[in-house]
Amino acid sequence: MRFAVVVFPGTWSDCDFHYVISEVLHQPVKYVWHRERSLDDVDCVILPGGFSYGDYLRAGAVAGRSPVVESLGGFVERGGYVLGSCNGFQILCEAGLLPGALMRNECLQYRCQSTHLVVEQVETPFTRGLRRGQVLTMPISHGEGKYHADPETLALLRKRNQIVFRYATAEGAVTRAANPNGSVENIAGVASPEGTVLGLMPHPERAAEAAIGGTDGLLLFQSLLGTLVEDGSFLKR
Amino acid sequence: MKVRVLIRLRSSILDVQGSAVKRALGGLGFDDLDDLRVGKMIELEVRAASPEAARGRVDEMCRKLLANPLLEDYTVEVLPAGDLAQARAGR
C-alpha cells in the first residue's frame, strides 16, 4: 500500500508518521506538500498533527481549504483512505470531510498524556482487525481536542456507527474522569459513513514501537494493511 | 470599503475561555458580572462598488472560511466612510 504524508507549514508529526510507515511497517511512503493536488499514485493519505498555519483563525481552518485537502474528496470517492490525527482530525472536520468540530479543551490546558481508547466500531478499514470493546493505549498532545457535535449530528453518528473511539479507563469504562478534554460523549475518533476517512485526536504514530510508548497505534495500520488477524495476533511478514 | 466582522461562539456553546476571564475579573473585585463571552473581530478593507456588494462579498468569506457555522455566529458591518476617515486620522 502506498502512503502519502501531507506536510503543511507548521506540521510536526510528519516525520514520525513517515518513519513508522517506512521503517516499522516497510511500506512505500512519500511526503506531499500542501500545495499539491495530485494524489493519483497513493492509496492512503495521512494528515499528521501539528499546528498547520499556526492554527490561525481556528485550528485546521486554513489547512482545511488548502489545495491538497480540496483534492481529498475526489480521492476518497476513487476509493482512497484518509487518516487524520490530532491537527489532521481538526483539518478533516474544518474541511467538512468529517462531521463536528474540535474546540478548546474544557480544562483550558494543553494536554500531553497517555490515554486509553475503547474501540466502538470495527467495521472500518482502520479497525477491522480489532475487537469491539478492546482498549488501546495512545498518547494525546493538544490544546483544542474537545469534540463537539450538535444533538442531531450525534444521533446520526450513533445510527451510522461512525463513533470509532471513546476515551475510557484502562478497563474500557467510558467515564467523565477518563475524558481528558471535555469531548462530548468522550468521543476521541470518528469515521466517515463508509469508514474510509478516520479522524482521531490521539497519536497512533507515537505508539508504534515497544521501546517508546507501546505499539497499539500500529494496530490501525495493520488493520488497514490486512496484516492483523482477528484474534489480535500478528501474521508473520 | 471598511468592513467589520464580529464572530461569536453560538449561545448554545459553553465558552470556557470566557468563563476563565470572568473568574479572573471576579478575582480583581469585579463581582458584578453575570456573563462574559470572548469572540473575535476581523476588519477588512474590501474593493466593492457599493456597501451592499461589500457586505455580500464578506458574507461569502464568512461562510467559506472566517466562521465555523457549527460553533459560531457572525455579523457583518459595513462602516460608514466617516468612520474610516476617523480611523485613519487616529493612527
Question: Between chains, do A108 and B17 touch, taking CB under 8 Å as contact?
Answer: yes
List all residues 6 or more positions away from B17 whose beta carbon is below 8 Å from its beta carbon.
A104, A108, B38
For chain A, how far is it from start to end, CA to CA, in angstroms? 14
- Give the residue among B6, B86, B83 at the shortest CA–CA distance from B42: B6
Looking at residue A234, what is its pLDDT? 47
- CA atoms of A144 and A87, how far apart (whole Å): 9
In which order are the strands placed within the sheet that holds B72-78?
B40-45, B2-9, B72-78
Q: Where are the alpha helices (DSSP H) in A107-205?
A: 151-159
Question: Which residue, among A58, A110, A154, A181, would best test binding to B if mutated, counting the most B CBs under 10 Å from its CB?
Answer: A58
Can you give the residue range of the structural domain that contains B56? 2-90
- CA atoms of A189 and A166, how far apart (whole Å): 7
Chain B closest-CA separation from residue A106 CA (Å): 6
A205 is catalytic: yes
Residues in chain A: 237
Residues of chain A neighbouring B64 (CB-CB closer than 8 A): 65
Q: Would you say residue A235 has pLDDT above 50?
A: no
Pairing verdict, β B40-45 and A111-119: unpaired
Cβ under 8 Å to B: A residues 65-84: 65
- Give the residue among A163, A188, A186 at the shortest CA–CA distance from A175: A186
Q: What is the tens place of the pLDDT at every residue in A41-91?
A: 999 999 999 999 999 999 999 999 999 999 999 999 999 999 999 999 999
Can you give the residue range of the structural domain that contains A186? 3-225
List all residues 6 or more positions away from A147 whose beta carbon is below 8 Å from its beta carbon.
A100, A101, A102, A181, A183, A184, A187, A188, A190, A201
- CA atoms of A31 and A169, how far apart (whole Å): 35
**Is A237 within a domain?**
no
Grid cell at residue A126? 482502520
- Give the residue among B38, B65, B13, B73 at the shortest CA–CA distance from A61: B65
**Is A184 within a domain?**
yes
Question: What is the pLDDT averaged over residues A145-163?
Answer: 97
Looking at residue A213, what is its pLDDT? 82
Question: Between chains, do B16 and A57 touch, taking CB under 8 Å as contact?
Answer: no
- CA atoms of B88 and B79, how far apart (whole Å): 13
A140, amino acid identity: I
Q: Tell me how far the alpha carbon of residue B56 is from its chain's centroid.
A: 16
Q: What is the ipTM of this complex?
A: 0.83
**Is A231 within a domain?**
no
Question: Between chains, do A108 and B20 touch, taking CB under 8 Å as contact?
Answer: yes
Q: How confident is the model at residue A231 (pLDDT cuts 50, 70, 90)?
A: very low
Question: Mean pLDDT of all residues in chain A?
Answer: 94
Question: Which residue, among A62, A70, A102, A103, would best test binding to B if mutated, counting the most B CBs under 10 Å from its CB?
Answer: A103
Looking at residue A212, what is its pLDDT? 87
Looking at residue A86, what is its pLDDT? 98
CB A91, CB A84: distance < 8 Å: yes
Question: Between chains, do B17 and A104 touch, taking CB under 8 Å as contact?
Answer: yes
Nearest to A61 among B13, B16, B65 (CB): B65
Pairing verdict, β A81-85 and A44-47: parallel
CB B26, CB B87: distance < 8 Å: no
CATH of the domain at B64: 3.30.1280.10
Q: Assess A57–B contact: CB distance below 8 Å, yes or no.
A: yes
For chains A and B, what is the number of CB pairs under 8 angstroms? 30
Q: How confident is the model at residue B80 (pLDDT cuts 50, 70, 90)?
A: confident
CATH of the domain at A8: 3.40.50.880
Grid cell at residue A88? 489532521
A15 is catalytic: no
- CA atoms of A77 and A56, how far apart (whole Å): 30
Element (H, E) at A209: none
Q: What is the tens place of the pLDDT at every residue in B8-43?
A: 999 999 899 999 999 999 999 999 999 999 999 999
Question: What is the pLDDT averaged over residues A158-185?
Answer: 98
Residues of chain B neighbouring A94 (CB-CB closer than 8 A): 68
Question: What is the pLDDT averaged over residues A23-37?
Answer: 96
**Is A149 within a domain?**
yes
Q: How many domains does chain A have?
A: 1
CB A104, CB A144: distance < 8 Å: yes
Q: How confident is the model at residue A230 (pLDDT cuts 50, 70, 90)?
A: very low
Cβ under 8 Å to B: A residues 189-218: none
Element (H, E) at A24: none
Question: What is the pLDDT averaged over residues A150-177?
Answer: 97
Q: How many domains does chain B have?
A: 1
**Is A236 within a domain?**
no
Q: What is the tens place of the pLDDT at every residue in B45-65?
A: 999 999 999 999 999 999 999
Q: Would you say residue A205 has pLDDT above 60?
A: yes
Q: Tell me how far the alpha carbon of residue B4 is from its chain's centroid.
A: 7
What percent of chain A clears pLDDT 70, i.e. is strictly above it? 95
A83, amino acid identity: L
